[in-house]
Structure 1
Amino acid sequence: MSDKNNIENQNLIPDDDYEYEKKLAEEERSRRLAEEEKLREQAENEKKLERQREKEREKRIAQERLELLQLKNGVIDESQSTIKEEHEEKTKLKGMAWISNFWYHYKYMIIFMSFIAAVVIFITYSEIKRERPDLTILMIADNGLAQRDKELEEFFEKYTDDTDDNGYVHVSVISVPLSPNSDYQTANANSSKFFAQLQAGDAMIVITDSNTDEEYKNLMDPTLGEDFPGNKYIDELGFSFNSRVMADELKYEYMPNDVHMSIRYPAKTMDLSLEESQENYDKSFVVFKRIVDDITQRCEESNDPGLETEPIKYDTDEKSEESTQDSIKADEKDSSTVGAGNDQ
């Protein structure tokens, strides 16, 4: 049946077309055969080349082994050896390829270092922008001035320079009233704060009064009279605020007449060297002198009469004795109570 169909199909195709199609088919077959033969030859050639390279590599390895043995046994030296150290040539990346490769290998380190850098920048910026006082004053007198921090700050700011060049002057007044009339806990806390400030070394000017303990007075400079000869407002405690001018400045009408602006000796502390403490003293003394000169002149010009309010006097010995007597009476009362209980 198929032969019959083929015969019929051949009868349907013209002779010229049939011959042409047959020729094309034979050419296509020849071409495929030629390509296959070429591929076989290439494969054979590659195998031959690979075998040749393998033989050469084995020969080279054998030669190198032999030379290594000869080098080891001293038969030949390195100059006679054909073994050469081979270095793999590294490809140099550029542009985005280099960035991509660097990020791939070091991305976690980059993220970590970026975080550390951000923290350091934040801390540094905060430290730079943190408000620092141009001058620090210690207020240890316990006579009402502890409630006038604002007035004291405004007064001292008039005589203080902008030492940190931030565009404005700021004076910090630290109130740690050290009164002999304070209870034990308050006195102990304020005393600790006071000595902490002494260790820091920033506050050189101290506001004192006649009730200030001798232990603290001994820290002050008693030789200021040499710097201000003939000034009646200067004594061994410093500059006296006993004037109406100072009462008006601090808006304290009934300010006691025993208040002094003292300045303490420069001394080495755990936080500061003697040289650094001297620098703080010199900076504070500039302000101290400006105040002394200005207030003294104003008092002399106005013939200032001084203040009439007398300071509070604390009889510490009497108070201590009263406390002791009270303690004895309390103990006797407790003893009698216990005795009565035992009798029952």
Structure 2
Amino acid sequence: MSKKEEKDINISRLDKSLEGQGLLEDADDAEYERTLAQQRREAEERERRALEQAEAEKRERERQEEKERERRLAQERIELMKLKSGVIDESESTIKEEHDQIRELHGFEKVSNFFYHNKVWIIFAIFIIAVTAFIAIDAARREKADLTVLMIANNGLEARQDELEEFFEKYTDDFDGNGYVHVDVIIIPLNSHSDDYQQQNVNSTKFMAQLQGGESILVITDSNTDEDFKEIMTPDLPKEFPNNKYVDDMGMSWNMEVMAEALNYENMPNDVHLSMRTPVQTLGDSKETMQENYDKSFKVFKRIVDDMTEKAEAAGDKGLTTEPVHYDGSSSDSTDSTVNSENK
């Protein structure tokens, strides 16, 4: 056996031994990793050289362009001096006034160009249109009220908007003829002695805004209602309901147990009134328009008075026992204040 054959046999035996121990496989993996690393380095080197070449070509191109620009400027300066000195005339000069060529745009390019130069105004117009559309759709979807009632008492009724609306809807007609009855009770509790001055200012402003129109006639008040607001309520209702103890110069007193039950307000104070605004000309409506709304509201007012009076008398209603809280800053308790008010 030759030395070469003996060497091949030994190598074969070594490979089998390494393979049996898992070492040959590891050696192959290491060699593969080294090959990949070498290939990555070569690729990165080629990319670096390509970038350097591109950068060098760019610098050379810019250098040539700058050189050409300087040459052209130098030539133009010489010709300009010749023009000034009269050596040559304008027809012989190579200096020409350059104008950018205006390319006519078509199709999408024209639309894109228009949007680019007017995008601020276009976006603003889209915003205005979107807001206007939202307001219009919201107004169209919103239920139009057959009757609007202002609730300015500050005694807990502000938490019973649903009960109030349901109560008034039982006595209201479908005035707009849309097939259903809806009463909108606007909650604006007013208390001039509240510590929440910001909220009271908001409520006062909201109430004053409602007074500029002649649509809201019925107003829920109490003994804490500002005297200036009481003056806009009609004092003539007792003439319409003679001998009815529940109607006084502030309107219909809700001092009834049956009323507290109807509104699901067990501890309702006994000073609540349903008042009506006196028809006058407002900033938003004429006196005639407000009178029409007054007549419509009076029908509802009369139905409530007649129905609740009948129920109270039938039940032997003794009135409410919850005394009102007076926000007058006085040191006397609420009971004394109520007694004094009743004596007056």
Fold-level similarity (TM above 0.5): yes
**1:132 maps onto 2:149 in alignment:** no
Q: For residues 200 and 231 of structure 2, what CA distance do their matches in structure 1 show?
A: 18
What's the CA shift for 1:225?
A: 0.4
Q: Which residue of structure 2 lines up, in the alignment, with residue 214 of structure 1?
A: 227
- CA drift at 1:180: 2.6
Out of 259, 283, 286, the residue aligned to residue 246 of structure 1 is 259
The 5-angstrom pairing of residues 257-336 of structure 1 reads 257-316=270-329
- The Cα RMSD (Å) is 2.2
What is aligned with 2:159? 147
Residue 103 (structure 1) aligns with? none
Q: Following the alignment from structure 1 to structure 2, what is the Cα–Cα distance between the partners of residues 126 and 140?
A: 26
Tell me by how many angstroms 1:261 deviates: 0.4
Structure 1 Cα separation of the partners of residues 264 and 134 of structure 2: 42
SS in 2 for 1:182: coil
How far apart are residue 128 of structure 1 and its match?
Answer: 5.8
Aligned-residue identity in percent: 59
Equivalent position SS for 2:219: strand
Could you tell me which runs of 5 or more consecutive residues in structure 2 were left unpaired when the two chains were aligned.
1-131, 333-344
Name the CA distance, whole Å, in 1 between partners of 2:208 and 2:331. 27
Deviation at 1:131, TM superposition (A): 1.7
CA deviation digits over 1:186-225, x for unaligned, max 9? 2211111001011122110000001111011111011100
Question: Under a length normalisation based on structure 1, what TM-score does the superposition of the two structures give?
Answer: 0.55
Relative to 1, partners in 2 of residues 1:313 and 1:127: Cα closer, same or farther, differing over 3 Å?
closer
- One-letter code of the match for 2:259? M
* Partner residue in 1 for 2:200: 187
SS of the residue aligned with 1:200? coil
Structure 1: gaps of 5 or more residues? 1-119, 320-344
1:175 to 171, 187, 191: 187
**Cα deviation, residue 315, structure 1:** 2.4
| CA-CA distance at 1:318 after TM superposition | 6.8
Cα 1:125/1:235, change in 2 over 3 Å: same
Give the length in aligned residue pairs.
Answer: 200
Residue 110 of structure 1 aligns with which residue?
Answer: none
In the alignment, which residue of structure 2 is the partner of 1:196?
A: 209
CA offset at residue 123 of structure 1? 9.2
Name the SS for the 1:166 alignment partner: coil
**Residues 1:309 and 1:122: Cα distance change in structure 2 (over 3 Å):** closer
CA distance in 2, matches of 1:127, 1:255: 35
CA deviation profile, 1:61-116 (whole Å, cap 9, x unmatched): xxxxxxxxxxxxxxxxxxxxxxxxxxxxxxxxxxxxxxxxxxxxxxxxxxxxxxxx
How much does 1:297 deviate? 0.7
Q: Give the structure-2-normalised TM-score.
A: 0.55
8 Å CA contact 1:180–1:316 kept in 2: the answer is: no
